[in-house]
Every structure is written in structure tokens, then in C-alpha cells.
Structure 1
Amino acid sequence: MSNELYWLTWTIALTAFFWVPYIGNRIKELGPPPMHWFPLPDPPPKAKWAERAMRAHANAVENLVLFAPLVLLVHMAGAYSRATELACMVYFFARVGHYAISIFGFPVPLRTLAFLTGVGCQVVLLASLLS
């Protein structure tokens, strides 16, 4: 497995479990979900951190839709290099940072910096494909 695929795998695993904290909070706030076939929509979370976690998870999913195909294309095209390897690793940690910064409610510039770091990593992958 290439290092790019290694970091993609960890990024997918990370994104797959971002829901756990806020769903735990939902169960704490509302109790176990009822067994209705079509339950009513949940009210917004009372805990602000849980609301931020939901948005950070959605953001991670939206960006994974771009990141994963780029990594797979880099791998399939043989366009990998030390720069693409580093971009994939940095992307993973940028997503960790974005999620943590979001949950703890740090100032917007820090969250934006983490987000833009991830975007920059995607640009590196795209550039390696187009060069």
C-alpha cells in the first residue's frame, strides 16, 4: 500500500467515527431513540459543542468526497511523489485539527486555517495530476 493510500485509509476511518461524540450527546440529552418507523426530526442539540461537532463532521464528509478521488487518481496515474505523500499526511492532521478546533469552539481563524490547510493539500494532489 502506498503512503497516500495509507493516509486515505486513516482519513476515511477518522471521518467514519466523527459522529460518535455527538450521537452520544444526543442519547444523553434525549434518551435512546424511539422505535418509530418514521421518527420526528431531532431538536437541535442543547450542547453547543455537539452542534459544532455535527457541522465539523458534515464538513469532513464534504471534503472527503474531493480528497478520496484525488488520492485514488494520484495512485492510479502513478503521479505520487514525496509531495503527494506529505499532502495526504498533512490533510489527515488538518482534519483532526479542524474537528478538535470546532468542538472546543476555538476562534474562527484557527478553524479556517485548518480547513485551508486541507484545501491546500487537495491542490497539491490536483497539481500532481495535471503536471
Structure 2
Amino acid sequence: MTPELTWLTLTAILAASLWIPYIVGVNKYPAATDAFARPAPLSDFPAWVHRAHRAHLNLIEQAVPFAIVVIVAHLAGVSNTVTVWAAAAFFWLRLAHAAGMITGVARMPLRPLIFTAGWLCILAIAAAVLIA
């Protein structure tokens, strides 16, 4: 397995696990409504619960393009210093983004900078594929 696929797998595990803080939060602070019929609005929970939900959605938003460019690179046989470092950086940036968002530590402008850096990682891998 290439290093890029390893980083993609770790990113998928992170994305698949980011529902946990949100579910812990909504169960720690149960709403007065019937959550099965309609979940309570996020505004009914502490801010960190809302941020946990957003962190999960935000990672999914970037994970799909990341997965596509990594898989295309793999299928095209493109694996070089740029693709390896960009894939590794993407994972660590997304982990930092999630932790910073849930805890509230990553405030403006840090959070959007981390998101943008992740986007640049995706573009770097895509560029390496298109140039090859």
C-alpha cells in the first residue's frame, strides 16, 4: 500500500469516528423533545456539541475530494514526495482542525487557515497527477 493510501485510510477512520463527540454531547445534555421523531436543534446544546457536529460535516466536505485525488493518483501510478507529504499533511491538518474546532481553541483566523491548508494539499496532489 502506498503512503498516500495509508493517509487516506487514517483520514477515513477519523471521518468515521468524528460522530462520537457529537453523540456524546447530545446524550450528555438530553433535549426535552422526542429525538427519534425530530432531533433537537443544535442551539439547544452547549456550543462544543454544535462545533463537534460542524467538525464532522466539515471533514466529510474535504474528505471526498481528498479521497478522489488520492485514488486517482494511485490508479495513475503517481506517488512522489509532493503526494506523500500532501497526504500526510492533510491528515494532520484535519485532525488539528477537528480537535481545535470541538474544543473551541481554533478560532478565527486559525480554523479557516487550517481548512485552506487542507484544500491546498488536495490541489497539490491533483497537480502532481495532472502534471505526470
TM-score between both structures, scaled by the size of structure 1: 0.91
Residue 25 of structure 1 aligns with an amino acid whose one-letter code is G
In structure 2, the residue matched to 1:71 is 70
Q: Of 39, 42, 46, which aligns to 1:41?
A: 39
Cα deviation, residue 101, structure 1: 1.4
Residue identity opposite 1:30 in structure 2: P
Corresponding position: 1:4 with 2:4: yes
Give the aligned partner of residue 23 of structure 2: 23
Encode CA deviations 1:46-98: one digit per residue, 9 max, x unaligned: 21011011111101001111100100000000111011011000000000111
For residues 89-115 of structure 1, what are the alpha-carbon distances to aligned partners after superposition, in whole Å with 9 as ceiling and x for unaligned? 000000011111111223211101111
Match of 1:58 in 2: 57
Q: How far apart, CA to CA, are the structure 2 residues paired with 1:100 and 1:114?
A: 12
Return the letter of the residue paired with 2:21: P
| Aligned residue type for 2:39 | P
Give the residue type in structure 1 aligned to 2:58. Answer: N
In 1, Cα distance between equivalents of 2:90 and 2:15: 12
What is the alpha-carbon root mean square deviation over aligned residues? 1.7
CA distance in 2, matches of 1:105, 1:27: 20
Structure 2, gaps ≥5 residues long? none
The residue identity in structure 1 corresponding to 2:69 is L
When residues 118 and 35 of structure 1 are mapped into structure 2, their CA distance, relative to the original with a 3 A threshold, is closer
Name the CA distance, whole Å, in 2 between partners of 1:116 and 1:60. 12
2:99 corresponds to 1:100 = yes
2:85 maps to 1:86: yes
Letter in 2 for 1:101: G
Q: Percent identity?
A: 38
Unaligned runs of at least 5 residues, structure 1: none
SS in structure 1 of the partner of residue 29 of structure 2: helix
TM-score normalised by L of structure 2: 0.90
CA distance in 1, matches of 2:35, 2:39: 13
